[in-house]
Amino acid sequence: MRYKEDDLYSQRLYKLRRDKGMSQEELGKLLGIQKTAVYKYEKGLTSIPQNKISKLCDIFKVPADYLLGRSNDSPEDFKKYIKIKFYDKWTAQGPIQADEHELYYEALSSDADKNEKELFAIKAIGESMAPMYQDNDILIIEKKSQCQSGEDALVIIGNSDAILRRISLEPDGMLLKCLNPDFQNKFYTYDDINKIPVSIIGVAKELRRKINV
């Protein structure tokens, strides 16, 4: 994909660099590229590889959506953003990191929120929780080992990969509900939960979805 000289993408890269008082040569060194490559990025003559976008986000402390022209938040708004880990999936052995060059930023209301919550992003897989959650949605999960009845939680059952289910806590166990009626709900007694085991990884807090145009 090629970018025109007046693209917002290129303009923002140029402005971020100038506002930071950085030369094209200095930025190039941080990116591990030549000054001429930075010039081409800022003029829209070449597209920026995904791994360079990630590095630029780290350097300028902005989310990719702003750099790519998908967000109109002012740079001051980015003080509310923190970088969180982004996973493709969560297995019984642990999380699988998304593309190592892929970053995800989440806006929080205050510094206190940032300190109190352990958040991560993960891709939704499948249609069991449709229509509320769709395949490839990005879920913002608060990591915790327990949840309340009615919350949507990331759950691992035995050695399977984590799945998203609406939790209903019953007197004798836990019901994992699918929002899509074409999929079957599953009930586990508290004895099952301990033996299998059934583990809560975290609770869904927010949803991010890209609109296909």
Give the C-alpha separation, 24 to 26, whole Å.
5
Shared domain for 107 and 38, answered yes or no, is: no
Total domains present in the chain: 2
- CA 150 from centroid of its chain's CA atoms: 23
Q: 88 and 54 in contact (C-beta within 8 Å)?
A: no
Pure H helices in 79-153:
111-116
Domain containing 191 equals: 80-208
Shared domain for 130 and 56, answered yes or no, is: no
Compute the CA torsion angle 33, 39, 45, 51 (nearest 10 deg). Answer: 30
Shared domain for 45 and 98, answered yes or no, is: no
Q: Which of 72, 104, 125 is the last residue of a domain?
A: 72
Shared domain for 199 and 105, answered yes or no, is: yes
pLDDT at residue number 67: 83
pLDDT at residue number 51: 81
pLDDT at residue number 81: 63
Q: 121 and 138 in contact (C-beta within 8 Å)?
A: yes
Q: 169 and 183 in contact (C-beta within 8 Å)?
A: no
CA dist 60 → 21, 71, 126 (Å) = 11, 15, 35
Determine, yes or no, domain membership for 1: no
pLDDT at residue number 77: 60
pLDDT at residue number 75: 60
Q: Which of 127, 149, 146 is nearest to 136 (CA)?
A: 127
Shared domain for 41 and 121, answered yes or no, is: no
Which CATH number do you get for residue 39? 1.10.260.40
Give the C-alpha separation, 19 to 59, whole Å.
12
Shared domain for 66 and 142, answered yes or no, is: no
Which CATH number do you get for residue 168? 2.10.109.10
pLDDT tens for the chain, 213 residues long, are: 344 434 787 888 999 999 999 999 999 999 999 999 999 999 888 888 878 888 898 888 887 778 877 777 666 665 566 677 888 889 988 888 766 445 455 555 444 354 567 888 898 989 999 999 998 888 999 999 999 999 999 999 999 999 999 999 999 999 999 999 999 999 999 999 999 999 999 999 988 876 654
Give the C-alpha separation, 20 to 183, whole Å.
52
Shared domain for 109 and 184, answered yes or no, is: yes
Q: Which of 16, 51, 72 is the last residue of a domain?
A: 72
Q: Which of 28, 55, 72 is the last residue of a domain?
A: 72
